[in-house]
Amino acid sequence: QVQLVQSGAEVTKPGASVKVSCKTSGYTFTGYHIHWVRQAPGQGLEWVGSVNPYSGGTEYAQKFRGRIILTRDTSISTAYMELTGLRSDDTATYYCATEGGVPSVPYFDYWGQGTLVTVSS
Amino acid sequence: SYVLTQPPSVSVAPGQTARLTCGGSNIESKSVNWYRQTPGQAPVLVLCDNSDRPSGIPERFSGSNSGNTATLTISRVEAGDEAAYYCQVWESTSDHPGVFGGGTKLTVL
């Protein structure tokens, strides 16, 4: 069965960087984009960006451009999200999710368990 | 960027029908997806492409999309349906293509 297992919670300081991993199994890793979605405490869902595991191509929400780097390691079926220049309002649970549907109208069908990133001085 | 509007809360008695709306400009031209999220858990896809149910989602969950409003309908509501529900679309021409509504908290009375 499809599984996405994310790395553990992180506590970090303003201005620092954080890198979250998303290890996948149960499907062909290079066949489906991986998306990242975040959720601030008590708030709704926010799309962050996506990576094409086959090509390494990325797409980022404009508000994160310049601060976010999405990568993947096909040898271990794992995607990564690195966020730099952290601010207190980056405190959130970050989810990875696989893309379903066709590329022009994707949905997110399998999700990781989430990784809480806390930014605090 | 494209905006999706959901009412913050909806309440319904067990056994009744819940209708959760998602408003957006000419949303009928888009493919709307719906997710359910309970506290402390990851979202779960409950409807895709307006009305298709993924494997394991009960037939009580159905969807429609017309004009400026998409609707998730939950028939014969159960206590276990209590959760936050989010609609989502993909705006491929936008600088923020992945768009979620603000979410609706469904309370089962």
Digitized pLDDT (tens) for each residue of chain B, 109 residues in all: 899 999 999 999 999 999 999 999 999 999 999 999 999 999 999 999 999 999 999 999 999 999 999 999 999 999 999 999 999 999 888 888 999 999 999 999 9
B34 touches B87 (CB < 8 A): yes
B100 to chain A, closest Cα gap in Å: 6
Cβ–Cβ below 8 Å for A105 and B90: yes
**Which pair of tokens denotes residue B70?**
């998409």
Point out the residue among B35, B44, B95 whose CB comes nearest to the CB of A62. B95
B27 touches B2 (CB < 8 A): no
Query: Measured between CB atoms, does A115 come within 8 Å of chain B?
Result: no
Of the CA atoms within 13 Å of residue A34, those in its CB half-sphere come to 34
Q: Quick one: pLDDT at residue A91?
A: 98
Point out the residue among A104, A108, A113 whose CB comes nearest to the CB of B45. A108
pLDDT at A84 over 90: yes
Which residue(s) pair with B84 in the sheet?
B37, B105
